[in-house]
Structure 1
Amino acid sequence: MMLRLRSRDGLERVIVENPHTTTVSELKRIIEAQLRIPVHNQTLSTNQNLLLVKSREDLHRFTDMANPDLTLSSLNLSHGSIVFLTYEGERHVAGPAFNPAGSFGRKMTMDDLIAKQMRVTRQENPHCELVSFDRDCANAFQHYVNDTLAFAVKRGGFMYGTVSEEGKVEVDFIYEPPQQGSEENLLFFRDPEEEKLVEAIAAGLGMRRVGFIFTQTISQDKKDYTLSNREVLQAAEYHAESGLKEWVTAVVKLEVNDDMSADVHFEAFQISDVCVRLFKEGWFETEIKEDDDPKLSKMKKDVVVGVKDTKEVDNDFFLVVVKISDHQGPLSSSFPVENRNTQMTMKALKNHLDRTKSLPFVKRISDFHLLLVLARVLDLNADVPALTACVHTQTSIPEGYQILIESMANTA
């Protein structure tokens, strides 16, 4: 049986013979043997909040795996289950000394020399200290995927918000481009004109594009990977395109429990610096074949992983875990979202304005998806900045704009 271990080092795997007889203390000895972390330094839990602990005193709150005699099956752990691990001290993976001449004095090309120096290691810390999701926009995204798509096909979007000087990312709205999803693939049909409107709205709201969010399907929940090779490629592409070191990749998935109940989970990562570099420099094999192992990314040339040269890298080496929080942002997320199954009409605008009559007008239009509808018909250089500035500062909307927006709604 394979167990997945999530720690500050990312996701690693250990092999356990029998969950019905293996105890917590035996699991710790297995971790020591396979991952070189001393038993007395380990704290284990099935609660992911273990990774957020900042002091030793707080570790005592995680008692579900404190009894060394509990069996793994009694903790509902089975093949592919995730156990969270924190430990004291450092781990070092020693690599071989670099010998440009090779083991037997073989003459090496310049490509060989470059590849020998490209070492793939786990990145210890993310540039993003924390990512916080606006509750309304996160719920609007996951509810659509859960209620309408039933997590049967993939869905994605770009996250917009702010980045603090300390590296905290706040996500306040999600833009969903035109797209097509299947069980394994997610294809965005990028629309430059629409994205120009989105960027203008974001700029007026004092925000910017801060990350990529996508869902994994129920069928993927049975697979032995955190992100597939296709997902790593797509995430690395958008991270590289952004030029933002705090860029976040978020994954939303439905995890089915042993009692057949299901919970929606958000996970956040940063694609490591070395992964972004490999993508920019064209190291990745971008053509993925049907029989390729999805948990491995293929390289065009050898890279050094641990102590060996290889063209296949476990995707987990490229992922850096980011802590998650939530907040109540400045925008609502009750207006219909763009590029979904329903066609956007002015009737939606009328229904929204009728439903929010009791609120000040600026509150009634403080919704990115509504502003995108307005931006399609208003002047991008004059009207959009004026409206978004009012929303950003929550000041009164000029009467002329109120009359204009209401008249647009009344044409429905």
Structure 2
Amino acid sequence: MSKHKIITLRVQSSEGTKRVEVEPSDSILHLFEKVHDAFGLSGYTFALYRERGRKDELISSRSRTIRSSGLRHGDMVYMCPLNGALLWSEPSPGSSNSMAHDEPIDDYPEKSSSTPSQNIALLTTPVVPLQEDEVDQQLWKLDGKVQRKRDDKLCRHGPKACCVHCSPLEPFDEAYLKEQNVKHMSFHSYLRKLTAGVDRGKFVNLEDISCRIRAGCKDHPPWPKGICSKCQPNAITLNRQVYRHVDNVMFENAYLVERFINYWRSTGHQRLGFLYGRYEIHGDVPLGIRGTVAAIYEPPQTSTRDSITLLESDKDRKHVDDLAGQLGLRRIGWIFTDLVTDDVKKGTVKHVRNIESHFLSAEECIMAGYFQNQHPNPCRFSPVGYFGSKFVTVCVTGDASNQVHMEGYSVSNQCMALVRDNCLVPTKDAPELGYVRESTDKQYVPDVYYKEKDGYGNEVSRLARPLPVEYLLVDVPASTPLIPLYTFYASDAIQAFPVENRLVDGHIQDFNTLSNYLQQFSPDQFLNAVSDFHFLLYISTMDMLPMKEYMGPLLEAVRTQNSEMARDWARSEHWATVEQLIAASSLSPPSSRPQSSTFTSPLTAPAASAAATAAMPSSPPMHDDAGWTCSHCTFLNPTELSSCEMCQLPR
């Protein structure tokens, strides 16, 4: 090649920028190969763009040349992974689901094991455009400015004019936010601040912090035998985050929280759950977002009076998310209790979380960072498509008046990066302090600092070993509305359906509980009966007759509160089978259920009687003095029982 024909292109990625030399007559496919070699990638699962935000993609082609694509000497090209693929062969962090995060967290999918020739074919497939949340799309359409009324004392103009005393304020105006006692501006106000200059955000680039060594450096042996300024991650100075992705957490009604903390009231043990709801526009903060909670799902867990451990056997997690999605809900946060009884007679609890102790412990901050990394926030100004997280943390604890109340938080993007790259661990005996790992032969950890004032009032930097976790927290107010909202049915006159995964007497989900719950409703109240998140989850996964595949119309009826659609589904063949079993159990109720309890199905009374007769066996099963065999599940039961000990169905 002649030297004067070579042009240099700059390729920017999440791991840094490199230069690539090509000829104008080279094909775009040759450019992809050059980029692959320059960054030392593990595969070809990446795309190249001429503009930020995944715009103006360069499609891999053997016929199209560098010259025909309009690329010139010194142009910048942006590299992004395809569908979140792992480009570098460096092992990604591992995962952990316990409160103590001794192992790294797995936030990235496994890298592709296909060959380069197979991966090149993926480059011809168009990248799925970034899909922002619906609330983000709505906020981008709003002006966002704070309107002010005419001041009679300062304004000297007519009613249709405007001056500096009554002109609209920007949503990020510091004086207005301080006057309204808003501690953190909303994330969209922060974005408007970045795009308010002359360039209109042309050069805005929101990138997450990386605490890992940049892969592909060939100037020295890999760590721990060598490191240089090009691949070494920068030192981190922790700062208070000026914005928050969610400005308020609102539980639709107090019954939601009462139902959750009833487990602590009955056992004295702490409890953890996931919040399901939706994101909405929050009118009290300029361009704010509110997380509205409609249901709380409690995953499998073991707990004591002062600890909670999540179990790995949550096989229903994906199904819960799918069911919530069909109801118009999504996972928006997590909630846990930290309640210690103070006076049983007065019903008060101890005030253990305050400025003198801690608000969130280091373990809880790491757990929050782990969950936030699992639920990233789509952002159009990020080169990888995601920045930060809307996932929130709610703690139910005692307040200064020794009453039960809720405190909401999220952790900063800096904390998310430290947790994602396995740099932050809790201390052993001080819950308010975290600790940044030291570098080892297996992992390089950058220096992390925080600033505080010394005895003379000077601001000095301290090494984050240990680290006060207050530097990682962002306050998010949690509350309930003055007028309760109800996505699901709730009534004091109805015994609610038990919550899943509560292995306590009176909280077990089984067929007898299902029968007793439905007997509280008349045929006209079928929609109210099924409008319970825990009830819907149980009937979709119950061992005897899982109805997951047939619940689409029912979930749509609950989401739209359509009684007619719910009654139509109640006449389906699949629900009729459940009704037959309930009717059969009501004819010969077990000793634990009152004899007067009857269930009236949406079918007519004669039809229900006929269904019950059809459900009963034509002749009693043969049994001897040793017991009787259940005709439904063939389990051998003792003679004195009137219902099966295994499936709870009548004899």
- TM-score, normalization: structure 2? 0.43
Alpha-carbon distance change, 111 to 134 in structure 1, aligned in 2, over 3 angstroms: farther
**1:236 lines up with 2:369 in the alignment:** yes
Aligned to 1:72: none
Counterparts of 2:541 and 2:183, CA distance in 1: 50
Aligned to 1:134: 252
Alpha-carbon distance change, 192 to 142 in structure 1, aligned in 2, over 3 angstroms: closer
1:247 aligns with one of 379, 391, 397: 391
Contact 2:272/2:335 (8 A) holds in 1: yes
Give 1:54 deviation, angstroms.
6.9
Give 1:358 deviation, angstroms.
6.7
Counterparts of 1:55 and 1:276, CA distance in 2: 27
1:384 aligns with one of 551, 563, 587: 551
Counterparts of 1:382 and 1:215, CA distance in 2: 35
The letter of the residue matching 1:191 is S
* CA-to-aligned-CA distance 1:319-367 (integer Å, 9 cap, x gap): 1111223241311362111111132111221222122327531221010
Aligned to 1:315: 469
Aligned to 1:143: 262
Contact 2:277/2:293 (8 A) holds in 1: yes
Alpha-carbon distance change, 169 to 86 in structure 1, aligned in 2, over 3 angstroms: closer
Three-state SS of the structure 2 residue aligned to 1:361 is helix
1:274 aligns with one of 395, 410, 414: 414
Alpha-carbon distance change, 240 to 249 in structure 1, aligned in 2, over 3 angstroms: same
1:336 aligns with one of 493, 498, 502: 498
Contact 1:363/1:394 (8 A) holds in 2: no
* CA-to-aligned-CA distance 1:183-202 (integer Å, 9 cap, x gap): 44211114342213212210
Q: Is the strand fraction higher in 1 or 2?
A: 1
1:406 aligns with one of 579, 584, 593: 579
Contact 1:200/1:385 (8 A) holds in 2: no
Give 1:110 deviation, angstroms.
5.3
Give 1:176 deviation, angstroms.
0.5
* CA-to-aligned-CA distance 1:269-290 (integer Å, 9 cap, x gap): 111111111111111126x53x
Give 1:315 deviation, angstroms.
1.4
**1:195 lines up with 2:317 in the alignment:** yes
Give 1:154 deviation, angstroms.
2.1
Q: Which is further off, 353-362 or 157-166?
A: 353-362
Contact 2:488/2:533 (8 A) holds in 1: yes
Contact 2:301/2:309 (8 A) holds in 1: yes
* CA-to-aligned-CA distance 1:22-44 (integer Å, 9 cap, x gap): xxxxxxxxxxxxxxxxxxxxxxx
Larger Rg: 2
Alpha-carbon distance change, 200 to 86 in structure 1, aligned in 2, over 3 angstroms: closer
Give 1:308 deviation, angstroms.
2.3
Alpha-carbon distance change, 122 to 174 in structure 1, aligned in 2, over 3 angstroms: same
Extract unaligned runs of 5+ from structure 1: 1-52, 60-84, 88-107
Aligned to 2:518: 353
Alpha-carbon distance change, 138 to 222 in structure 1, aligned in 2, over 3 angstroms: closer
Alpha-carbon distance change, 344 to 248 in structure 1, aligned in 2, over 3 angstroms: same
Counterparts of 2:263 and 2:257, CA distance in 1: 10
Counterparts of 2:307 and 2:404, CA distance in 1: 20
Aligned to 2:423: 283
Contact 2:299/2:314 (8 A) holds in 1: no
Counterparts of 1:112 and 1:215, CA distance in 2: 46
Aligned to 1:164: 280
Three-state SS of the structure 2 residue aligned to 1:193 is coil
The letter of the residue matching 2:398 is L
Instruction: Report 1 or 2 for greater relative contact order, CA contacts < 8 Å, sequence distance ≥ 6.
Output: 1
2:299 aligns with one of 169, 174, 177: 177
The letter of the residue matching 1:179 is Q
Give 1:55 deviation, angstroms.
8.2
Counterparts of 1:250 and 1:163, CA distance in 2: 16
* CA-to-aligned-CA distance 1:105-130 (integer Å, 9 cap, x gap): xxx96599967631211112210022
Aligned to 2:36: none
Contact 1:197/1:375 (8 A) holds in 2: no
Counterparts of 2:365 and 2:229, CA distance in 1: 24
The letter of the residue matching 1:297 is G
**1:373 lines up with 2:538 in the alignment:** yes
Cα RMSD between the aligned structures?
3.1
Three-state SS of the structure 2 residue aligned to 1:177 is coil
The size of the alignment, in residue pairs, is 304
Q: Is the helix fraction higher in 1 or 2?
A: 1
The letter of the residue matching 2:467 is V
The letter of the residue matching 1:120 is L
Three-state SS of the structure 1 residue aligned to 2:437 is strand
1:222 aligns with one of 343, 352, 366: 352
